[in-house]
Amino acid sequence: DGQRLSANVSAPVRDWNSLGMARTSGGVLCPSLLLCLCFLLVALAVRLKPCDLAGQLYILDVPKSELPLWLCIAEFESRFNTHAVGQANADGSRDYGLFQISDRFWCSPPNQTDYYAFNECNVNCTRLLSDDITMAVQCARVIRKQQGWTAWSVYGQYCNGTLDAAGIDECFQAGNETSTSCAE
């Protein structure tokens, strides 16, 4: 088998995937270019500090008594990353943002999908990837109202009854604007 490169020259077809290179319709991307792109995406992602998130949630009228649960879910779903997009789920859906909200049920996927998206939050999923967490919190409230905390798979294992609510108070003490952990 050969692939025509010009009128008179042919070259064997190479399996670039076995060499760890990604194919594109125009050729092959250099692995170092892919690595650079990955680092750039990670650098652009915003990771909130726990106390910063607690403050933002409190401003959005989340009661202090609920803050440990919200922080736990954000930590274990996205590692406090407002721009997190999860790997494809078994049904092809993806999860978006700080609270990893599913495009299958809660938000409208940015691209055409093979599945029906219910969009219960009436929001495009890309709006959940904002540093302004208002839409993510509003949608998470809809989810919680309909399904409770157990809508998040991390709730049962990591966030159910094991949280120290007293640690949240440290986030609201004067002089702790740079605190990085609410539970220490």
Catalytic residue among 15, 52, 77, 120: 77
Whole-angstrom distance, CA of residue 153 vs CA of residue 160: 11
**Helix spans in 45-131 (H):** 50-59, 67-78
**Neighbouring C-beta atoms of residue 4, cutoff 10 Å:** 9
Tokens of 109: 């996927």
What type of residue sits at position 174?
Answer: A
Whole-angstrom distance, CA of residue 162 vs CA of residue 27: 52
Whole-angstrom distance, CA of residue 84 vs CA of residue 76: 12
Catalytic residue among 95, 132, 170, 177: 95
Tell me, yes or no, if 177 is annotated catalytic: no
Burial track 53-66 (b if 16+ CB lie within 10 A, e otherwise): bbbbbbeeebeeee
The catalytic site residues sit at 77, 95
